[in-house]
Amino acid sequence: MNELTGLEIRVLHEALDDEYQAWAIYDQVIADFGEVRPFINIRQAEARHIEALLDLFARYGLPVPANPWPGKVERYASLQAACEAGVTAEIANGEMYERLLGQTQRTDILTVLRHLQEASQQRHLAAFQRCAQRGAAGGVGRGGRGAGNREGV
């Protein structure tokens, strides 16, 4: 197996750090506001995204950095503010993945990065947009998994 370039290693580290940060933010929102959607679903998805990246770290024999973000992320005054921040974060996440996709030609890395970008842009962004709209209308609330809720991929 060919060794990764320095740039490819940086790509994997940046993607993992971003997913670590997202997980920590959503975990903090849950600690502050309870088991609320879409955060409970998307936190689970972020854990799966981290695992997909960790599989690449293992495949290429890279040491895995610890998650530096728990306890160091922004806290929000309201669930509405957290939902709005989620929209902004997912837009930035999509842009980051677009940039990272141009920095490798390795099929396995590209596949994972595309999957993570798609989840962010097709599912997470839409879930946070719905959350922000509900909050603007006074409807942000608590709740476990509801029927038809597919926000967490």
CA distance 148 to 138: 21
Condensed to tens digits (0 to 9), the pLDDT of residues 64-114 reads 999 999 999 999 999 999 999 999 999 999 999 999 999 999 999 999 999
**pTM of the predicted structure, to 2 decimals:** 0.86
147 belongs to a structural domain: no
Token pair of 6 as six digits: 């320095």
SS3 assignment for 4-58: CCHHHHHHHHHHHHHHHHHHHHHHHHHHHHCCCCCHHHHHHHHHHHHHHHHHHHH
Count of structural domains within the chain:
1
53 belongs to a structural domain: yes
The whole domain housing 52 covers: 6-64+77-136
